[in-house]
Amino acid sequence: MSDESTARLQPLDAIRGIAAMMVVLFHYTVNYSKAFPLADHPSFVVSWGYLGVNFFFMVSGFVIFMTLCKTINSWDFVVSRFSRLYPVYWFAVLATAAVVSLYGLTYAVRTPQEILVNLTMLQSFMHVRNVDSVYWTLTYELLFYGWMFLLFRLNRLAQIERFLAAWLLLAAASHIVTLLYGYFPWKITFSLLLQYAHLFAAGILFYLIYSGKANRVTYALLGLCVVDQLLAADSWIEDAFVFGFFATFALVATGKAGFLNVRALTYLGSISYSLYLLHDYTGIVLLDILRRAGVPADLRVAMVIVVAVALAALVSHFIERPALRAIRQRYKTRMTKSPVPSP
pLDDT at 299 over 80: yes
Average pLDDT over residues 5-30: 87
- Give the C-alpha separation, 238 to 232, whole Å: 10
- Give the C-alpha separation, 247 to 313, whole Å: 29
167-225 tens-digit pLDDT:
999 999 999 999 999 999 999 999 999 999 999 999 999 999 999 999 999 999 999 99
Q: Which residues contact 309 (CB under 8 A, 6 or more apart)?
A: 268, 271, 275
pLDDT band, residue 343 (cuts 50/70/90): low
pLDDT of residue 342: 60
C-alpha distances in angstroms, 299 versus 206, 277, 291?
39, 23, 10
pLDDT of residue 38: 77
Q: Which residues contact 282 (CB under 8 A, 6 or more apart)?
A: 95, 96, 99, 100, 308, 311
pLDDT of residue 341: 62
pLDDT at 25 over 60: yes
Q: Which residues contact 286 (CB under 8 A, 6 or more apart)?
A: 304, 307
- Give the C-alpha separation, 308 to 234, whole Å: 30
pLDDT at 233 over 70: yes
pLDDT at 88 over 80: yes
Coil, helix or strand at residue 44: coil
pLDDT of residue 9: 81
Alpha-carbon dihedral of residues 240, 52, 161, 232, nearest 10 degrees? -50
DSSP code per residue over 230-295: HHH-SSHHHHHHHHHHHHHHHHHHTT--GGG--HHHHHHHHTHHHHHHHSHHHHHHHHHHHHHTT-
Lowest mean pLDDT segment, chosen from 100-104, 138-142, 188-192, 339-343: 339-343
C-alpha distances in angstroms, 241 versus 17, 23, 55, 235?
16, 14, 9, 10
Average pLDDT over residues 127-156: 98
pLDDT at 5 over 60: no
pLDDT of residue 33: 85
DSSP 8-class letter at 339? P
pLDDT of residue 4: 42
pLDDT at 1 over 60: no
pLDDT at 154 over 50: yes
pLDDT of residue 165: 98
Q: Which residues contact 246 (CB under 8 A, 6 or more apart)?
A: 202, 222, 225, 226
How crowded is residue 312: how many other Cβ atoms within 10 Å of its Cβ?
Answer: 26
- Give the C-alpha separation, 211 to 208, whole Å: 5
pLDDT band, residue 3 (cuts 50/70/90): very low
Q: Which residue type sits at 285?
A: V
pLDDT of residue 7: 42
pLDDT of residue 336: 84
Q: Enumerate helices (H) and strands (E) in the chain, giving the number of each.
A: 16, 0
Q: Which residue type sits at 343?
A: P
Average pLDDT over residues 255-267: 94
pLDDT of residue 21: 97
pLDDT of residue 340: 59
pLDDT at 6 over 70: no
- Give the C-alpha separation, 100 to 175, whole Å: 38
